[in-house]
Amino acid sequence: MDAKTENIEYVVNGTKIDSESKIVFKANPKRNGSASHARYEKYQAATTFAKYLKLNEGKFQMADARHDLSKGFLSLAK
């Protein structure tokens, strides 16, 4: 994290995740051809929550995070 980046804490489905939290995604489980599948293709490579936010900018950003976390598509790295 560089000096200009602030580590921000988020609460997603009751789980505290900060910008630098390490995350992992499962292989794309979304319906092929759907808008959510296309978004997932872009952000599934993220390894931190900050990178996820950058790769999935837009109105579905937090909705995608909530959904993916609740379904187990997104998890915190151990």
State which H helix or E strand residue 10 sits in.
Answer: strand 9-12
Contact 61, 40 (CB under 8 A): no
Burial 23-44 (b: 16+ CB within 10 A, else e): bebeeeebeeeeebeebbeebb
Tell me the percentage of the chain whose pLDDT exceeds 70.
94
**Chain segment 30-46, per-residue pLDDT in tens:** 999 999 999 999 999 99
Predicted model pTM: 0.88
